[in-house]
A and B are shown apart, each in its own frame.
Chain A
Amino acid sequence: MTATRNLRDDLFVAGPPPRLLGSRCRETGELFYPVQVMNPVTHRAGTMETCELEGTGRLLNFTRIHRGMPGYDSPLVLGIVELDAGPTLTAQIADWAGTDLHIGQRLDLVIGTIRTDPDGTRVLGPKFRPIKDENL
C-alpha cells in the first residue's frame, strides 16, 4: 500500500465534501486563505477565527508546465483560482485532459496528490477540477 501524508495539516478538511481551511475576521467578515494569525488588512490581532471555505470558484489564469520540479506531474497544469468565497490561490488543476480549459472556467475542490516524494509517499493537498456542467 502506498503511504500518504498531507502537505500541511492546516489547509483543508477531507469531507466529503472537501473544504479549504481559512480564516474569517470577526470584525470585518473578510475571508482569507490560508489561515492567518492576524488580519493583514486591518493589522489587528485577535480578530481571526479559523473557518471552512467552500471549494467552488473560477479559473483566473493557468499554464501547462512541461519542465517542472521532480516528483510533480509532467505536464502539470497550474492555475490561479478565485474562490466564490473571495480569496485567490495558486493550485494544481486536476482532470484537465480532454477539457477545453479556459479563463473563467468553473472549478471545484478535490483532495489529490500534489507530488510524490522520493520514498514513494504521496503528498496530498487541495486541487481543483473543471466542473463539467458549468450551470451547476
Chain B
Amino acid sequence: MTPLNLLILVCLSYVVLLFLVAFAAERAALRGRGAWMSQPLVYTLSLSVYCTAWTFYGAVGNAARSGLEYLTIYLGPTIVMVGWWWVLRKLVRIGRSQRITSVADLISSRFGKSNLLAVCVTLLAVIGTTPYIALQLQSVTLSFAAFAEAGGLDAPVADSNATAIWVASGLTLFTIVFGTRNLDVNERHYGVVMAIAVEAVVKLCALLAVGIFVVWGVSGGVSETLQRIDASTIGTAEIHGGRWAALTFLSGAAFLCLPRMFQVLVVENEDESHLQTASWAFPVYVMLISLFVIPIAVVGLQTLPEGSNPDLFVLTVPLSQGRDGLAILSFLGGFSSATSMVIVAAIALSTMVSNHIVMPIWVRMTGGGASMSGDVRNVVLLARRLAIAGVVFLGYLYFSLSGGGAALTSIGLVSFAGVVQVLPAMLGGIFWRGATRMGALSGLLIGFLIWLFTLFLPSFAGGVFLPETVVQFGLFGLDWLRPQALFGFEGLDPLVHAVLLSMSINTLVFVLVSLITLPSPLEQLQGAQFVNVYQHSTQQKSWSGGVAQSEDLMVMAQRILGASEAQALFQSAATRQGVSGYLPEPSEEFLAELEREMAGSVGAATAHAMVGQIIGGTPVSVHDLMAVADETAQMKVYSSELEIKSQELARTALQLRNANTKLTQLSVQKDAFLSQISHELRTPMSSIRAFSEILRGVEVLSPQEQVRYASIIQEETIRLTRLLDDLLDLSVLENGQVSLNLSTGSLSDLMDHSVAMARVGRDAAAMQIHRNSADERIWLYTDLDRLNQVFLNLIVNAHKYCDAAEPKLQIIVRQSAQQLTIDFIDNGTGISYENQNLIFEKFSRIGGHKSGGAGLGLAISREILQRLQGDVIYLPGQNGAAFRIRLPESVIGGAARADMSSTD
C-alpha cells in the first residue's frame, strides 16, 4: 500500500471516528448524561479552535521566515485569557443573560437591536473568514500533495482541486449534521464541541510528537537543539517593534472578535466558572503548541533541500527522515486543525447569515408575525444549512480562484485585521454607556473600508481587484490615497500600516460620532443592560403588553421554537401567572422571556421584530426608561428611602401624639374618678357622721329614735361596703388579676338562678320575663359565677330602669357557629343614643340617683365578659333597652365534656 493510499484510509477512519464521537456526545447529552462533557477541560480544548492549520503549519513557516515573530499570534490570546476578569467575563455574562448567538448579534443587540449593524458585521465576518477557510482547504491539499510527492506520485498533485472539493463537502456534511441538529444556539452543539475537543488533543499530540522527534530524535537533545537554533539562519532574534506590537494586539483582538472564537468562547460556554480554568489552561495549551515550532523550523531549514516550502516542515521533516507513521500523525494534526476551524466558523457564520440576513428578508417578504405560513423552524434550519454550504463553498471558490499561491501566514493576518474592526464597537458597547448605533456603524464602516483598501485588496497578487497603478500611485492618481501609504503614512510595514490606520480611525470615528449623536430609548436600555450587566443581568424588559394577543404569539412561537417547546414555555409562564391553560397574559416579563427564547433561535433583532409585529405596542415602557437612567433610578431609590424614613418618623410622631392624648385623657379620667369616688363616699359618710353625732351628743332620745338612727347608719355602711366591694372587684378585673373559676353547667340552670336572685325582695309579678327554655339547653364551660353576676346585673337593671306600664324582659339565646349571643331586651324607653356609649363607663348613671346604685354594674359586667373572651354591647333599635352578650364558641360544647364527666 502506498503511503498516499494509507493516508487516505487513515484519514477516512479518522473522519468516521469524529462522526462517531460527535454522535455519541449528542446521544449522551440527549439522555442527560452529558455532565462530563461540560467540564472546564472540554471548554478549554474547544477554545483550541483558535489554532487552525494556519498555526499548525504556518507557525513553523513563519518561524522559518522571520524567527520568533510567530509567538505574537499566541501571546495576544494568552494575555486576553489571563486577563479574563476584564473583558471575557463580561462578554460571557452578557452572552448568557442576553442569549447572544454571535458577534453580529452582540453588536446589534447592544445598539438597539439594529439589524443594519448586524448585517454589516455579518458581511465583514463573511468577507474576513472566507480567505481563512480557503487557507484551511489549501493546507489540507498541500499536505496531501506533500505525501503524494514523497510517494513518488505526480498525478494527485495536479488534482488538488478534487481534494479540496472532497474535504469541503465532507466538512459541509459534518457541520450540517451536527451543527444544525437543534435550532436554539444556546442549546449548544455537544457533538461538535466534543469532536473539536478530540481534534484539539490530536493536533497537540501531533505537534508535540514531531517536536520531540526533532529535538531528541534528530538533534540529539535540548542543548544540541539550542546550539543548532543559534547556528541557523534565524539564530539571532530580530524583533521589529512595530510588527511585534501590532501582531500581539491583532491576535489578542482577533481572539475576541473572530466569529468562531466568539462561538466557542461565549455561545458554547456552559458555565462562567469554566473561564476560570480556561484562563490558565488555554495559555498552557498554546504554549505547548508553540514550544517546538522553532526547533522544527530550524531542523527543516537545515535538513531539507533549498526551496522547500517551510509551511509544510511539520509534515516533510518526518517524511524526509522516513518516519511515515509520525508523518501521518502530523497530517492528522493538520487535518484536525483545518477541519475544526472550518466547522466552527461555518456554524458561526451560518448563524449570523441566517439570523441577520435571511430571516429579516424572509420576515419582511412574508409579512412576518402570526400571519406567516409554514413552519419557521424549517425555514431557519434550511437557511442555516444553505448558509453553511454557502460559506464553505465561498472558501473553496476563493481557494480555487486565488490559486493558493500566497504564504499561509499572510492570508491569516489579513483575515485577522478584517474581523478586529468589530473590536471598538464591541468593547465600547460593553464598557461605555455613551456608545451609539451611529457611532458603531460609522466606525465599523470606515475601519472596514480602510482595511479593504489598504490590506485586503492589495493582498491579491497581480492586481486582480486593485490595479498595480493604484498601489503605486494611489487611487485616482492621488498620492495620499496609496493603499500602502494612506494619508502619507510611509515607511511602515503594510500590515502595521493597515492595522494602525484602520483601528485608530475606526476608534476615533466611533467615539466622535457616539459623542455627537443621540441614542434611541431602546439603545439606552440595551446599553445600560450591557454595561451594567452585573447589576441587572437578570431580566431584560422591553415590551409593554396589553394589546398583544397571546394566541398569535403562541402560533408564532410554535413555528420558531417547535410546538412542544413553545407550549411548555407558554404553560409554565401561565402557571407562574396563576392562569390555567396555555395562554398567559402578555405581561412584560413573559414577552421579554419569549423574545429571549426566540432570540436564541433567530437572533435578537429578528425576534424583536417578530414580537414587535404582533404586539404593535411601544417597545420601551416608562418603567424601562426609568431603569435606563441608572443615575435617576439610583436617585429615585435614595429619595424613596428618604420618603420611607420620613413616613416612619411621621408614624412615630403620630403614635407619640396619640399616646400623649391618651395619657392626658387617663389623667382627666383619674381625676374624675377620684372626685366621683370621693363624692360617692362622702354622701353616706356624711349621713353616718351626722346620725352618729346625734346619737352621741343628744342625751334624750327615745329608743325608737335610737333604733331608727342606728339603722340609718347601718344602711349607709352597707351601701358603703357594697360600693367598696364593687370598686375592689372592678380593680381586680381591670388589672387582670382575676383567676377564672372554670366549670361546666347548663345555661338554663344559670339563667334560672339569676332570675330567682334578681327577684329576691321584689314583687315577682312586677316584671314579666320571657324565655325560651329550648334555646337555653346549652352546656357552658366557663366561669359560671361571674357570668351569673353579669346576668343578674342586667336583669336587675331591667327591673330598676324599665319604665313601661307593664314591664317585660325578653331573654333570647342564639347559637351560631362562631359565637353564642344572649340578648336582654325590655320594653322601656331605652337609652338615648348619646348615652349608649356612656353606660359602660364607671359611675355612669342614667336618670339620676333614684335607683341608688353606684353605677359600676355595667362596667364590671363588661370587664368580666372581656375576661371570658366575650363582650357586652348595647343593641339599639329594639323598642326598649337591649343588651347583647356575646360569648365565643369555645364556651359552648361543654356538653360533650359534661356528658363524659357525668358518665365517668
Task: Say whether A and B bind each other.
Answer: no
> A residues engaging B (CB < 8 A)?
none
> B residues engaging A (CB < 8 A)?
none
